[in-house]
Amino acid sequence: MTIPMLYSKLHRATVTGADLHYEGSIAIDTGLIAAAKLRPLQLVEIYNINNGERFSTYVIAGAPGEVSLNGAAARRVQKGDLLIVCAYAQIASEEVDTHQAKIVLLGEGNVIEKTFDQ
């Protein structure tokens, strides 16, 4: 049996842009993708701290400092909003007690302030 568990999280990512007329996705700085152990095209859940919106989309590579929502998701954010970006994975029940998620805390300009396993 597997249990869905948090795999990784970008905490307090600042929205740098929103493009309604672009194929849907979230463009994330490639350094942030690597730090959070995310993958292009991976499903992520987005939690908007500013307005409470919760939605899902997929990751694409973005420019340095970029966290931009595209397509329909662009309607759920405004530039400057703070987001939590979470990825989940199915973890075997016998591994749940030792599983650790990668947490990446971000500061102003989407700069990594701290990373740790939780």
User: pLDDT, tens digit, for every residue of 54-111?
Assistant: 999 999 999 999 999 999 999 999 999 999 999 999 999 999 999 999 999 999 999 9
Q: Mean of the pLDDT values across residues 1-7? A: 96
Q: What pLDDT, on a 0 to 100 scale, did the predictor assign at position 115?
A: 96
What is d(CA 106, CA 114) in angstroms, rounded to the nearest whole number? 7
CA atoms of 109 and 64, how far apart (whole Å): 10
Q: Could you tell me whether strands 17-19 and 25-29 are parallel, antiparallel, or unpaired per DSSP bridges?
A: unpaired
Annotation marks residue 47 as catalytic? no
Among residues 7, 8, 25, 68, which one is catalytic? 25
* Catalytic residue list contains 25: yes
Q: What is the pLDDT of residues 20-51, one digit of tens each?
A: 998 779 999 999 999 999 999 999 999 999 99
Are 10 and 104 contacting, i.e. CB atoms less than 8 angstroms apart?
yes
Which tokens in the block code for residue 39?
Answer: 């993958």
Specify the pairing of strand 54-62 against strand 25-29. Answer: parallel
What does the pLDDT read at residue 24? 78
Catalytic residue among 58, 68, 88, 93: 58
Beta bridge partners of 45: 56, 86
Distance CA 84, CA 44 (A): 10
